[in-house]
Amino acid sequence: MSRYLEKLANIHTLLGWCLFYIFSFIWFTIFFLSFKLGNFAEAGFTLKLQADQLTWSTESSRKESLCQTMLNYFEKGHCWEEGIRVCKDLQQVYERNFKYRKLSAILKRNAELLDKILNEHRPDNEYFRVSFYGLNFPSFLQNSTFIFRGLEFEKISSFTHRIQREFPDAQLLTKIIPTDENITESRCQYIQIFSVKPIPELPITMDLFGPADHQALQYYQTNSVRQFSQDRPIQRGPFDPNNEFKSLWIERTIYTTEQSLPGMLRMFKVTSTIVTYLSPIENACETIENKNSELSKLIQTYGSVGQESTNRPESIAPLSMRLQGILDAAVNGGVAKYIEAFLGSEFLSTNPDQASSVTRLKDRIAQQIQLVEAGLQLHGRLAPTAVRPLHTRLLERFSTMRTTVNQANIETSQALLWLIKIRLLLNGIILMLNIDQD
């Protein structure tokens, strides 16, 4: 009996090693293809998957080598946060085993990656939903939907051309409509491609030392994401040609992938799809919230710039464009249309269940006034002579916007006002501490 069990154990061990070498071959193939295509982040994640199968107690040399190699690829692929995680793993091993020379080197490498996060610009990732319909595709693609990570600076037109080159016989479906059996069961190839927005999972911060560095959190806006959204505007109910926002609903589709992107591959299959709807007033609230968030980030970025000319940024174009976009929309439509559609007595009387949304919309509009005013003060301090005419026009537009908002009796709630004041106070204290340290 014991000899029989021993043979089974030997067979199990042999099968284990066979599977290990099979998977190692697959990992190496994926790594090699990623490397040859310049997909350095994907190459790093492939090595990480292989390194995670090894233990420090039995295969320390091989695991260390893989960690050092993946660290290089994460750095080349601009996934510096992933590189920092590798540094921390190596740091613990070196510290525990008193390898102080290696510990010193990895701490310096960690500091270099932190400097890159704070000081170097990285383009945001672009993501695309690609559906393959028809029975003429390979089996793993048939009637399946994937989320692709685009190449650096790649927009949907370039991405679409690239996919069409891979499948020259496929017909491109350009409308967001449900597909029927005539398409899914046909012996043809159909491809549907649309841009999607990543839904970030931001790390939890305690705000013990004021707001977290914008650059530190920016990575998570388009990285380490598994959920993506796609919006489709639809008109429901009576249509007002003078104000389409009154009946403008948003059909929002949420896609969840089997793994986070970026990952071992540039694409992962969609495992679940959820469709929700935003009412017109919810859509208005979210639109203003998004603009407020973008402007707040720009104010935080440019707000740390000193008044001395030597510390002025090379360009304030992003701040100018954001302010101009908000103010032009507020005067020509935007906020004025939202006020007309949702903040009159008629809307609340016919939609009493939307009282909380009305309050939310008022607060967001009031917050936008506060942020635009702060942004214009900053813009006036940083604007060079050539931009002064634009700044004057922005001030005129802001005056018109403020008048429109005041006529609607929109005021900042006390809770929101105190929140804004506390934020500004904390930012001022942090800025003074930084100046004292310098």
Per-residue pLDDT of the chain (438 residues; tens, 9 = 90+): 444 434 444 444 444 545 544 545 554 465 545 555 678 999 999 999 989 989 999 899 999 999 999 999 999 999 999 999 999 999 999 999 999 999 999 999 999 999 999 989 898 999 999 999 999 999 999 999 999 999 999 999 999 999 999 999 999 998 877 678 889 999 999 999 999 999 999 887 656 666 677 788 889 999 999 999 999 999 998 888 889 999 999 999 999 999 999 999 999 999 999 999 999 999 999 999 999 999 998 888 787 654 444 455 668 899 999 999 999 876 667 788 999 999 988 888 898 999 999 999 999 999 999 999 999 999 999 988 899 999 999 999 999 888 888 877 765 444 444 455 545 454 544 444 444 444
Q: Counting runs of H as helices and runs of E as strands, what totals does the chain give?
A: 15, 7
Give the three-class secondary structure for 141: coil
- Location of structure tokens 């005067």: 331
User: Homologous superfamily of 14-119 in CATH?
Assistant: DOCK DHR2 domain, lobe A (1.25.40.410)
Around Cβ 191, how many Cβ atoms within 10 Å? 20
CB atoms within 10 A of CB 50: 20
β-pairing, 144-149 with 127-133?
Answer: antiparallel
C-alpha separations of 28 from 66, 95, 390, 434 in Å: 12, 30, 56, 47
Q: How far apart are CA 383 and CA 243, in angstroms?
A: 35
Three-class SS state of 194:
strand
Beta carbons within 10 angstroms of residue 368's beta carbon? 23
Please tell me the distance from the alpha carbon of residue 148 to that of residue 132, in angstroms, as a whole number.
13
Does the domain at 281-437 match CATH 1.10.1670.10? Answer given as: no
Domain with CATH 1.20.58.740 in the chain: 281-437
CA–CA dist 142, 131 (Å, integer): 9
- Cis preceding linkage at 168, omega within 30: no
Q: How many residues does the chain have?
A: 438
The candidate with the shortest Cα–Cα distance to 337, out of 246, 224, 222, is: 246
Residue 395 DSSP SS3: helix
Q: Are 279 and 358 in contact (CB under 8 A)?
A: no
Residue 360 Cα distances to 116, 169, 364, 366, angstroms: 38, 50, 6, 10
